[in-house]
A and B are shown apart, each in its own frame.
Chain A
């Protein structure tokens, strides 16, 4: 989840109090945030936010707000959310936007107390919201413009790739929309969002000036915010109206926290949306839930009073009213993460501080135990150790190359579809290749070598509902100047004796083992595995310079 850069001085300013680093770190828990780095010289902090459902916290203003409310005990007032405010500025949405990028929300902010830190936070928060919350701008993207250069009404419409040209940020000459997608770094990065369509979204003002090409890039003339900027238009477009509205709210409250006056913009839409056709933004979409104190007490394991609930939730940003025995709790407009009453329980616990709860052991007694397969595996491992074998633990993900010489013609492997590295592109189907890897890497270790592993392998299995199955296999290897079938057979024989398995060896073929020196381990009709002497070509290919013998058996099948 996001890590953001904040100047401590800026954060202190927003909180309204200079906090010691220790106090700050403690308060950061309120925002599920952690201070990862602090450079006292440059005053730079790196803060990691862990809650992916709280995009309002991904900026200095949001973190500061959560702490400020805790210190004052009151939720913040954002008067511009009061319904019935008249908008003087209008953005008109064209009919054909519905199929491409249907939703837009906007507002203006005037009188921002701008400085370097404010500008940094604006850019950073815009970036984090669009990248992470907006899924790399596909669901939500944001544009911020110099308000004073715009002639309203602004139109949100489609334009053909060569119909309009403007100078995008980062360039010095005019480019058509098509060229921006081909040549501009942002066009190349995000072009996939609009390329499926014949025409692309643009924002154009009453003087025919291009504001931007959402969600790709702003124009240099109007869409560049500088440290001299005081008044801005904020616009959010996207494919999910709730997320678009919420994103605008988050930016609006942050700019309000920076001293700006927020005024509404009316969005006129020719098609119906969940919020209507004529929508005035910013708009409070938050919900109210009704909860009894008992619900909290039950979930927390201790009695909590309505008074304390009200106090703590209020200090966390909620509006709380009593309605008989229940509490009516309204979320702040910059949050949209309340899905279940349990979410409110957590807010209360965080606001009060986890350390204020007494840790109590669950009193109900239970009986512990291992699965029968694990008990069996432990028995097998005990016998192998007693027989003088060194146990190994190997990685399960490996390269096809490592398994190639252990594959029979009809063996199929579980392969990775989205391969990152060929070295880790298949799941092993057998344990022996892992032990042969050990031999290849251990020619300097004194002989004799006797190693084993009880480990998981995976195989396609058309008989299973998953189409695959996981087996637990025992593989064992001996490698030394006189290692042979007979010695390996002794080990298998004594193991199966103690496990109480009647078995026989049936002459067989196996890609790892020499013809005529390989057997199928069979218990009744049940094939448990294979035993044999390694083919010299296998040893040579794997650079193993000692005669080697091995067996592998499937423990799931023995246990049946």
Chain B
């Protein structure tokens, strides 16, 4: 071996290895007990040091079969303190107690399988019998010696830390073998460990290193950490600090962190603010008035029946509809009122309009904003949790977020509607190609669907929009044109998070949420 490799090896030595190597001054072949005696290392450190030295090619080990040591298992220790289950049962019976197998399980706190095997064994050997009502009874004159003998052996083994198996009498050895714990099997009382006799010798490289050790001297004390005390006392100067293996993986840590989906929504939120939109909010529990009637959806509209919205049980109705909107909206439905429309020509149901439901569309928030005296010109958006009466699957969450809003102004018309949608496509979906398709929404005319070419997803429907019908705006007191728009951003959120199932946006799995990364603005 060349000198540089030897030097490297020398530098790598741990103080424990040094201690180990230095014992070889006294001989070429050393047994483990001898090394312990000479070096002052304990058994576990000896194992560590010898293992490292072997792996570095400095030491060779020969092993011969040695002695078997017997110790108590956890169960064995318990039996030593309380007696074996059989002994406990016999003792209790001798004390004249009356009980059944069920009583033992329920009140003694013993494992049911343990109880049943104990009673089984006692019954089989004729020590007990089971009489009416499942009560156990001691058979008079039964031979109890076998059970007592086991107790004696447990005590003997359990009196010290370990015992050499061969020091026991043959019949005791047999008993130990019969009750010893095999790895992976059920409860045993004894554990038997094989102890091997090891003899160590230095390899040629080991001898070289030992020579260097003698020549150069060696650090045999090492510290794992710098302590405030060492700094205070200055003792750090006499200590060598153990080198770390820096190629190991660090322990995992978690940080305080926004939810990745919420981070996506925050980003969307700030994009809208930057485009001049004011946030609006509304309640989770709506009434049919704001959710549908105010949006000129006739009360007989197919999307309004029992299978499309969640109705609230109690309270079932709002107390009233804010005046004058209830009356004005009803007129628009009936005959158009003052909107220039023919209306839907039916009798508006004032009871039904107060019916409470779980908000089915974010447009309800827009309707409330229209009635609250919005700014003109004005732009508004909301990210509203909505509920739709759908079976829950990979594309339907029980509740989900809708991104919706309105734009009011004298200059609102069909062309500015298209312009606004184009802006959304560019800013929100980073798209450069757009397609506008005719669409149908009960509350807008004209209505448009915006399809965009998303850089990653290809052509997709980004949202729907239109100009609110006068039947919507006029009864709510707004006399300028209003754009209503809604965007479907869940697919983009799912791509940003790298998930396929919409329910994962609301995952309950901490590990999943901790490990999800998200990139925004792409």
Q: A residues near B, CB below 8 A?
A: 1, 29-30, 32, 34, 50-53, 132, 135, 242, 287, 298-302, 338-343, 345-346, 349-350, 354-355, 357-371, 373-374, 378, 381, 384-398, 412, 414-418, 420-421, 423-424, 427, 437-438, 440-442, 444-446, 448-451, 456, 458, 460, 462, 465-470
Contacts of B310 in A (CB 8 A): 397, 416-418
Stretch at the interface among B57-65, B225-233, B508-516: B508-516
List the A residue with the shortest CB-CB distance to B414: A300
Return the contact of A367 from the options B266, B269, B276 (Cβ within 8 A): B276
Render B294-305 as a binary contact track against A, CB cut-off 8 A, 1 for contact: 000000111000
Sample of 15 A–B contacts (CB below 8 Å): A29-B437, A346-B445, A346-B446, A349-B438, A349-B446, A354-B438, A390-B514, A393-B505, A396-B284, A418-B389, A424-B398, A440-B508, A444-B511, A465-B319, A468-B283
The 10 closest A-B pairs by CB, nearest first: A301-B413, A301-B415, A442-B510, A346-B446, A467-B315, A359-B418, A364-B377, A368-B273, A445-B510, A445-B511
Is B178 interfacial (CB 8 A cutoff)? no
Q: In the bound complex, do residue B514 and residue A342 qualify as a contact, i.e. CB atoms below 8 Å apart?
A: no
Q: In the bound complex, do residue B341 and residue A340 qualify as a contact, i.e. CB atoms below 8 Å apart?
A: yes
Is B462 interfacial (CB 8 A cutoff)? no
List the A residue with the shortest CB-CB distance to B412: A362
Expressed in whole angstroms, the minimum distance between the Cβ of A365 and any Cβ of chain B is 7
Q: In the bound complex, do residue A370 and residue B287 qualify as a contact, i.e. CB atoms below 8 Å apart?
A: no
Q: In the bound complex, do residue B506 and residue A393 qualify as a contact, i.e. CB atoms below 8 Å apart?
A: yes
Q: In the bound complex, do residue B509 and residue A340 qualify as a contact, i.e. CB atoms below 8 Å apart?
A: no
List the B residue with the shortest CB-CB distance to A443: B510
Contacts of B340 in A (CB 8 A): 340-341
Q: In the bound complex, do residue A349 and residue B509 qualify as a contact, i.e. CB atoms below 8 Å apart?
A: no
* Docked CA distance A396–B389 (Å): 14
* Docked CA distance A334–B513 (Å): 55
Expressed in whole angstroms, the minimum distance between the Cβ of A244 and any Cβ of chain B is 14
Stretch at the interface among B43-51, B66-74, B257-265: B257-265
Is B200 interfacial (CB 8 A cutoff)? no
Is B392 interfacial (CB 8 A cutoff)? yes
Q: In the bound complex, do residue A339 and residue B510 qualify as a contact, i.e. CB atoms below 8 Å apart?
A: no
Is B518 interfacial (CB 8 A cutoff)? no
Contacts of A51 in B (CB 8 A): 440
Q: In the bound complex, do residue A362 and residue B411 qualify as a contact, i.e. CB atoms below 8 Å apart?
A: yes
Given contacts A50-B440, A370-B279, contact A340 B471 (CB under 8 A): yes
Q: In the bound complex, do residue B276 and residue A298 qualify as a contact, i.e. CB atoms below 8 Å apart?
A: no
Is B275 interfacial (CB 8 A cutoff)? yes
Render B274-315 as a binary contact track against A, CB cut-off 8 A, 1 for contact: 111111110111110000000000001110001000111111
* Docked CA distance A412–B313 (Å): 11
Q: B residues near A, CB below 8 A?
A: 252, 254-259, 261-262, 266, 269, 272-281, 283-287, 300-302, 306, 310-320, 322, 336, 339-345, 356, 358, 375, 377-379, 385, 387, 389, 391-392, 397-399, 407, 409-416, 418-423, 434-440, 442, 445-448, 467, 469-471, 481, 505-506, 508-511, 513-514
* Docked CA distance A348–B435 (Å): 18
Contacts of B422 in A (CB 8 A): 359, 361
Q: In the bound complex, do residue A342 and residue B256 qualify as a contact, i.e. CB atoms below 8 Å apart?
A: no
Q: In the bound complex, do residue B302 and residue A52 qualify as a contact, i.e. CB atoms below 8 Å apart?
A: yes
Contacts of B389 in A (CB 8 A): 418, 420
Q: In the bound complex, do residue A369 and residue B470 qualify as a contact, i.e. CB atoms below 8 Å apart?
A: no
* Docked CA distance A469–B407 (Å): 27
Max count, chain A CB within 10 A of own CB: residue among B261, B301, B302, B510 = B510
Given contacts A340-B341, A386-B256, A470-B283, contact A364 B410 (CB under 8 A): yes
List the A residue with the shortest CB-CB distance to B445: A342
Return the contact of B256 from the options A34, A368, A390 (Cβ within 8 A): A390
Q: In the bound complex, do residue A358 and residue B438 qualify as a contact, i.e. CB atoms below 8 Å apart?
A: no
* Docked CA distance A351–B283 (Å): 40
Q: In the bound complex, do residue B273 and residue A370 qualify as a contact, i.e. CB atoms below 8 Å apart?
A: yes
Q: In the bound complex, do residue A364 and residue B302 qualify as a contact, i.e. CB atoms below 8 Å apart?
A: no
Q: In the bound complex, do residue B423 and residue A456 qualify as a contact, i.e. CB atoms below 8 Å apart?
A: no
Q: In the bound complex, do residue B378 and residue A366 qualify as a contact, i.e. CB atoms below 8 Å apart?
A: yes
List the B residue with the shortest CB-CB distance to A370: B279
* Docked CA distance A388–B253 (Å): 11
Max count, chain B CB within 10 A of own CB: residue among A350, A367, A450 = A367
List the A residue with the shortest CB-CB distance to B464: A50
Q: In the bound complex, do residue B470 and residue A395 qualify as a contact, i.e. CB atoms below 8 Å apart?
A: no
Return the contact of B438 from the options A29, A52, A466 (Cβ within 8 A): A29
Q: In the bound complex, do residue A361 and residue B312 qualify as a contact, i.e. CB atoms below 8 Å apart?
A: no
* Docked CA distance A414–B470 (Å): 34
Q: In the bound complex, do residue A370 and residue B317 qualify as a contact, i.e. CB atoms below 8 Å apart?
A: no
For the A-B complex with A358-B415, A417-B312 known, give 16 more contacts whose Cβ atoms are closer than 8 Å: A52-B302, A301-B416, A339-B471, A340-B471, A342-B470, A362-B420, A366-B278, A370-B279, A390-B513, A393-B506, A394-B506, A397-B398, A398-B398, A418-B306, A438-B509, A466-B319
Return the contact of B317 from the options A32, A34, A467 (Cβ within 8 A): A467
Given contacts A359-B422, A392-B259, A397-B398, contact A368 B438 (CB under 8 A): no
Contacts of B341 in A (CB 8 A): 339-340
Contacts of A414 in B (CB 8 A): 285, 312
Contacts of B446 in A (CB 8 A): 342, 345-346, 349-350
Max count, chain A CB within 10 A of own CB: residue among B266, B272, B278 = B278
Expressed in whole angstroms, the minimum distance between the Cβ of B304 and any Cβ of chain A is 11
* Docked CA distance A172–B197 (Å): 96
Given contacts A346-B445, A369-B273, A394-B506, contact A339 B285 (CB under 8 A): no
Q: In the bound complex, do residue A446 and residue B258 qualify as a contact, i.e. CB atoms below 8 Å apart?
A: no
Expressed in whole angstroms, the minimum distance between the Cβ of A229 and any Cβ of chain B is 31
Given contacts A418-B311, A465-B319, contact A368 B278 (CB under 8 A): yes
Contacts of A374 in B (CB 8 A): 269, 279, 281
List the B residue with the shortest CB-CB distance to A462: B315
Given contacts A362-B416, A420-B391, contact A467 B319 (CB under 8 A): yes
Expressed in whole angstroms, the minimum distance between the Cβ of B393 and any Cβ of chain A is 12
Expressed in whole angstroms, the minimum distance between the Cβ of B337 and any Cβ of chain A is 12
Given contacts A339-B471, A449-B510, contact A465 B311 (CB under 8 A): no
* Docked CA distance A387–B256 (Å): 7
Q: In the bound complex, do residue B258 and residue A354 qualify as a contact, i.e. CB atoms below 8 Å apart?
A: no
Max count, chain B CB within 10 A of own CB: residue among A363, A393, A397, A456 = A393
Q: In the bound complex, do residue A32 and residue B316 qualify as a contact, i.e. CB atoms below 8 Å apart?
A: no
* Docked CA distance A187–B413 (Å): 51
Return the contact of A362 from the options B255, B377, B505 (Cβ within 8 A): B377
Q: In the bound complex, do residue B411 and residue A359 qualify as a contact, i.e. CB atoms below 8 Å apart?
A: no
Q: In the bound complex, do residue B385 and residue A396 qualify as a contact, i.e. CB atoms below 8 Å apart?
A: yes
Contacts of A465 in B (CB 8 A): 318-320, 322
Return the contact of A364 from the options B411, B436, B509 (Cβ within 8 A): B411
List the A residue with the shortest CB-CB distance to B317: A467
Max count, chain B CB within 10 A of own CB: residue among A345, A363, A370, A388 = A370
Max count, chain A CB within 10 A of own CB: residue among B276, B438, B440 = B438
List the A residue with the shortest CB-CB distance to B310: A416
* Docked CA distance A159–B225 (Å): 101
Max count, chain A CB within 10 A of own CB: residue among B336, B414, B481 = B414
Q: In the bound complex, do residue A361 and residue B419 qualify as a contact, i.e. CB atoms below 8 Å apart?
A: yes
Expressed in whole angstroms, the minimum distance between the Cβ of B297 and any Cβ of chain A is 10
Contacts of A391 in B (CB 8 A): 257-259, 262
Q: In the bound complex, do residue B302 and residue A132 qualify as a contact, i.e. CB atoms below 8 Å apart?
A: yes
* Docked CA distance A82–B208 (Å): 119
Contacts of B411 in A (CB 8 A): 301, 362-364
Given contacts A53-B440, A416-B311, contact A385 B258 (CB under 8 A): yes
Q: In the bound complex, do residue A460 and residue B314 qualify as a contact, i.e. CB atoms below 8 Å apart?
A: yes
Q: In the bound complex, do residue A345 and residue B445 qualify as a contact, i.e. CB atoms below 8 Å apart?
A: yes
* Docked CA distance A359–B345 (Å): 36
Q: In the bound complex, do residue B414 and residue A301 qualify as a contact, i.e. CB atoms below 8 Å apart?
A: yes
Q: In the bound complex, do residue A339 and residue B391 qualify as a contact, i.e. CB atoms below 8 Å apart?
A: no
Return the contact of B379 from the options A53, A366, A449 (Cβ within 8 A): A366
List the B residue with the shortest CB-CB distance to A415: B313
* Docked CA distance A440–B356 (Å): 33
Contacts of B320 in A (CB 8 A): 465
* Docked CA distance A456–B316 (Å): 20
Q: In the bound complex, do residue B415 and residue A393 qualify as a contact, i.e. CB atoms below 8 Å apart?
A: no
